[in-house]
Amino acid sequence: MKELTYHRAEDAASAVALVTGDPDARFLGGGTNLVDHLKLGVTSPTTLVDVSRLPMDEVAELPDGGLRVGANVRNSDLAAHPAVRRGWPVVARALLAGASGQIRNQATTGGNLLQRTRCVYFQDVTTPCNKREPGTGCSAIGGYGRYNAVLGASEACVTTHPSDLAVGLAAVDATVVVLGAGGERRVPMGDFHRLPSDRPEQDTTLAHGELVTAVELPASAVARRSTYRKARDRASYAFALVSVAAGVDLDDDGRVRDVRIAWGGVAHKPWRAAVAEEALRGKFLSEESVREAAEAELAAAVTDEQTAYKVPMVRNLTALTLTSLAEGATR
């Protein structure tokens, strides 16, 4: 049996110091992803630093109208929070689309963002996987690849990010607050996760020992008129085939003043569809205009016979999501 040292952190600074000083140490929050991987033999830290009892479990309004969400706020609590449902419905709906009720009761905000980007081969220790063991190869290339990425992939890794919450946060320009050995810093959500390139083992831009302490949501008209839609194989407890987090602000005449679009299930990180957003600003929202904008974003997509379905699926789901928002529907 492999020995494992357990520490219960007394405060965030001591937790950071413990993990920073040990390259084989890991933070433990809700544990819904890490504990699974410990059991499967996917990861084998020598030390776990439990941060689940640190006082980072509040949702607080900021002076500018935004919201600060502690890293230990449970997914169920955040989804049900009146301020989130009112000001950032895309975040609430993304949370409710993820996992199961039991897992949402246990999973934390910070842990959700830090779950491993993975495919079936990552969790099968008998197969080569560059993410699990750098340099061994990618079994998903040429193997089972129905969930594979169509944007931003590399020869080293083609898996997609599993978090629904992360896609919603990308669409509302959230900021992740991080504490490290050098102090606190703020990371825009778009810069928090990374594409695989030749280092697929690194899911985020965090340095070892940096601890997510909060996520900040800026208030905006786009965030208030937002929603999340997810296409999947079954109605619950399934990763997205594709998903769309979107928000829109319209002029009095119905033209797009501003728009945000983020996609899940298509890349190694939540994919912010900036090309599509720019194409839609100043236009009337219609199925045709949204599909054209999505097609422009998808021009860089690389597909095969297993993933070709994702291009029309995410294009059409984006059109459905945005035209519904334009009509005032958010369900």
Structure-token match 């379905």, residue found: 309
Can you give the pLDDT at residue 331? 42
Question: Is the full-model pTM beyond 0.85?
Answer: yes
3-state DSSP assignment of residue 33: coil
Helix (H) or strand (E) holding 85: helix 82-87
pLDDT tens, residue order, the chain (331 aa): 678 999 999 999 999 999 999 999 999 999 999 999 999 999 999 999 999 999 999 999 999 999 999 999 999 999 999 999 999 999 999 999 999 999 999 999 999 999 999 999 999 999 999 999 999 999 999 999 999 999 999 999 999 999 999 999 999 999 999 999 999 999 999 999 999 999 999 999 999 999 999 999 999 999 999 999 999 999 888 999 999 999 999 999 999 999 999 999 999 999 999 999 999 999 999 999 999 999 999 999 999 999 999 999 999 999 999 999 999 844 4
User: Quick one: fold of 5-50?
Assistant: 3.30.43
Residue 130: count other Cβ atoms within 10 Å of its Cβ: 25
Single-letter amino acid code for the residue at 78: L
* Domain map (residue ranges) of the chain: 5-50, 225-326
pLDDT digits (tens, 9 = 90+) for 134-155: 999 999 999 999 999 999 999 9
> Are β-strands 5-8 and 47-50 bridged in parallel, bridged antiparallel, or unpaired?
parallel
* Rg value, the chain, Cα: 20
Separation CA 245–CA 179 (nearest Å): 28
User: How far lies 325's CA from each of 222, 224, 289, in Å?
Assistant: 10, 11, 14
State both tokens at 11: 């405060």
Phi, psi of 113 (to 5 degrees): -70, -25
Return the CATH class of domain 225-326.
alpha beta
Helix (H) or strand (E) holding 230: strand 226-231
Can you give the pLDDT at residue 310? 98
Separation CA 195–CA 198 (nearest Å): 9
Q: In residues, how long is the chain? A: 331
State both tokens at 157: 């890794």
Separation CA 84–CA 206 (nearest Å): 26
- HEC string of 167-198 equals HHHHHCCCEEEEEECCEEEEEEHHHHECCCCC
Residue 161: count other Cβ atoms within 10 Å of its Cβ: 26
Please report how many Cα atoms fall inside a 13 Å half-sphere around the Cα of residue 41, on the Cβ side: 7
Separation CA 285–CA 36 (nearest Å): 43
| Among 102, 99, 107, 108, residue whose Cα is nearest residue 70 | 108
Can you give the pLDDT at residue 321? 98
State both tokens at 296: 């422009």
Q: Is 3 exposed, middle or buried (0-12, 13-18, 19+ CB in 10 A)?
A: exposed
